[in-house]
């Protein structure tokens, strides 16, 4: 297989702020894997939260060349294991390779990826639409602009949570999901916030406290009126058994898991442990989002809106109609370049 690596800059419609920081654009590595005249596409939406950078992802991708050069892309499962052995972390790089391999295989078979996975395209869930932290007026404006999305995800975890939620409720009565992004440091503070949010029409709360505080989360869960969903606390399948004692659900993202294959394993494991499953994303182009969307018929909650925040998306693929994810009917992942 021939590997081509390039970078693309995704310009955001609004400055994106969560409890950790702000950005106005994202520059990521994108790949093409070519063999036998078929090209699989991949994206690495890296995240500094997980010690990934444009350079570290590029270096990891370069290191996959010897494995890929002589590989048979149909052996995607074996190849995934070999790529994983090249090093810890850098999950976004592993995800790019995995997405491209799955795209390649489904294209080679001449069917959409969900067909290879044996899934039913009509079972895709509704996706939430995320509102980043901003001035109250801008957040209200974003909510009004999001009129086509029946579910909203509000980023909290700062000093201003009560004022934000009150401003949100002034302009919408939609179901709200809250993501604290590790923002509440103290479990009593977290419980107070969650108890208050339960009266504000909130469905569940994502990552209320910093990662690796499972005793606090278990304490919180015994008292919380709302389900608690792990995000920063879960990356791959090996994290899941310990979380089942503390959380009600997990947020799986292919950029954290290292791709679709590991996300699939995580879904099966989480189900067997009775956990609810959310499928989330980073800020990603339609390439990464559509790849993940092929798994969405398997999950309870989707938050696959990362490409909706971009104004110059280099790809088009899945789209959202009245909140529901619609998978493309083309072969492979089914994305087309727009450049």
d(CA 75, CA 250): 29
* Cα distances (angstroms) measured from residue 170 to each of 16, 141, 147, 277: 22, 11, 14, 30
* Residue (231 or 262) nearer to Mg ion, CB: 231
Task: Choose the stretch contacting Mg ion; rule: CB under 5 A; options: 183-191, 206-214, 287-295, 321-329.
Answer: 206-214
Judged by CB under 5 A, which stretch of 107-115, 127-135, 160-168, 179-187 contacts Mg ion? 179-187
Q: Rounded to an integer, what distance in angstroms lies between the CA atom of residue 176 and that of residue 250?
A: 17
Query: Given the complex with Mg ion, which of 108 and 256 has the nearer CB atom?
Result: 256
Residue 131 exposed, middle or buried by CB count within 10 Å (0-12, 13-18, 19+)? buried
Interface characters, 218-257, with Mg ion (x: CB under 5 A): -------------x--------------------------
Give CA–CA dist 24/14, Å, rounded: 7
Query: Helices 214-223 and 187-198, interaxial angle, to 10°?
Result: 40
What's the min distance (Å) between Cβ of 14 and Mg ion? 18
In whole angstroms, how close is the CB of 153 to Mg ion at the nearest point?
8
Are 57 and 44 in contact by the 8 Å Cβ rule? The answer is yes
Q: Which is nearer to Mg ion, 102 or 229 (CB)?
A: 229
Which of 41/197 has CB closer to Mg ion?
197
The residue ranges of DSSP E strands in the chain, in sequence order, are 2-18, 21-35, 38-44, 128-131, 151-155, 175-179, 202-206, 228-230, 249-252, 276-279, 301-302, 315-316, 319-321, 324-326, 336-337
From the list 20-28, 131-139, 171-179, 191-199, the region that binds Mg ion by CB under 5 A is 171-179
Q: How far is the CB of 247 from Mg ion (least distance, A)?
A: 13
Q: Between 139 and 278, whose beta carbon lies closer to Mg ion?
A: 278
Q: How many residues interact with Mg ion (rule CB under 5 A)?
A: 3
Give least dist CB 157 to Mg ion, A. 10
Part in contact with Mg ion (CB under 5 A); list of ranges 44-52, 60-68, 78-86, 177-185: 177-185
Helix 161-171 and helix 187-198, axial crossing angle in degrees, nearest 10: 10
Minimal CA–CA distance to 52: which of 62, 64, 44? 44
Q: Which is nearer to Mg ion, 103 or 182 (CB)?
A: 182
Nearer to Mg ion, 179 or 216 (CB): 179
Minimum gap (Å) between residue 231 Cβ and Mg ion: 4
| Residue 121 · residue 327 · CB < 8 Å | yes
Q: 76 or 184, CB closer to Mg ion?
A: 184
The distance of closest approach from Cβ of residue 137 to Mg ion in the complex, given in angstroms and rounded to an integer, is 24
182 is a site residue for Mg ion (CB under 5 A)? no
**Closest distance of CB 213 from Mg ion, Å:** 15
d(CA 4, CA 32): 5
Residue 86 CA: distances (Å) to CA of 56, 59, 65, 89, 90: 13, 11, 11, 10, 10
Q: Does 179 bind Mg ion (CB under 5 A)?
A: yes
Binding residues vs Mg ion (CB under 5 A): 179, 206, 231
């Amino acid at each position: 297989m021939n590997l081509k690596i390039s970078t693309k800059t995704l310009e955001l419609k609004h400055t994106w702020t969560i409890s950790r920081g702000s950005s106005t654009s994202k520059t990521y590595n994108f790949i093409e894997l070519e063999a036998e005249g078929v090209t699989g596409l991949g994206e690495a939406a890296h995240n500094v939260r997980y010690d990934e950078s444009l350079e570290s992802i590029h270096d990891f991708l370069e290191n996959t060349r010897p494995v890929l050069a002589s590989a048979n892309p149909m052996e995607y499962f074996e190849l995934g294991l070999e790529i994983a052995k090249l090093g810890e972390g850098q999950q976004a790089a592993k995800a790019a390779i995995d997405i491209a391999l799955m795209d390649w295989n489904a294209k080679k078979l001449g069917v959409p990826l969900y067909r290879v996975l044996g899934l039913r395209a009509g079972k895709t869930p509704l996706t939430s639409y995320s509102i980043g932290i901003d001035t109250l007026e801008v957040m209200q404006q974003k909510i009004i602009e999001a009129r086509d999305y029946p579910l909203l995800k509000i980023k909290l975890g700062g000093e201003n949570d009560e004022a934000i939620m009150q401003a949100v409720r002034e302009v919408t009565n939609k179901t709200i999901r809250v993501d604290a992004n590790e923002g509440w440091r103290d479990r009593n503070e977290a419980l107070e916030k969650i108890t208050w949010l339960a009266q504000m029409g909130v469905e569940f709360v994502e990552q209320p406290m910093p990662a690796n505080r499972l005793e606090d989360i278990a304490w919180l869960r015994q008292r919380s009126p709302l389900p608690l969903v792990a995000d920063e606390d879960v990356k791959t399948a090996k994290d899941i058994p310990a979380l089942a004692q503390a959380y009600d659900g997990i947020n799986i993202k292919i950029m954290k898991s290292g791709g679709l294959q590991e996300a699939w394993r995580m879904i099966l494991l989480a189900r067997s442990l009775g956990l609810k499953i959310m499928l989330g994303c980073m800020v990603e182009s339609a390439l990464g989002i559509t790849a993940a969307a092929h798994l969405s018929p398997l999950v309870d909650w989707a938050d696959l809106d990362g490409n909706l925040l971009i104004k110059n998306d280099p790809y088009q693929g899945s789209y959202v109609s009245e909140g529901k994810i619609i998978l493309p009917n083309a072969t492979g992942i089914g994305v087309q370049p727009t450049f």
